[in-house]
Amino acid sequence: MPLADPGGGSCRDGLGPDGVNGNMGAESTLAWLVAVERMRALHNEASAQPAELMAGGAGGVRSGLGRTRVTRLGAR
């Protein structure tokens, strides 16, 4: 059973020894929504970077301080 329900906009409270917790509290749902929005922002940032570099925008290549790069394996 999935923890998050994107269609309904909710998230279960977690996993326990007996499986998925059936509760869908506000804290879990808000934490899930914040995580989804952060992943979306990182994806959009990573998608925009090559275009900026090709156009010479954003000051060229940056040191990467304070930035997160998204790869297929996750954020690093």
Query: One digit per residue, pLDDT tens: the chain, 76 residues?
Result: 788 998 988 999 999 999 999 899 999 999 999 999 999 999 988 887 665 656 655 544 444 444 544 444 444 4
Give dist(CA 61, CA 41) in Å, integer. 20
pTM given for the model? 0.56
What gap in Å lies between CA 64 and CA 46, rounded to an integer?
12
Q: Who contacts 31 (Cβ-Cβ below 8 Å, separation ≥6)?
A: 11
Separation in Å, CA 56 to CA 12, 44, 61: 45, 18, 9
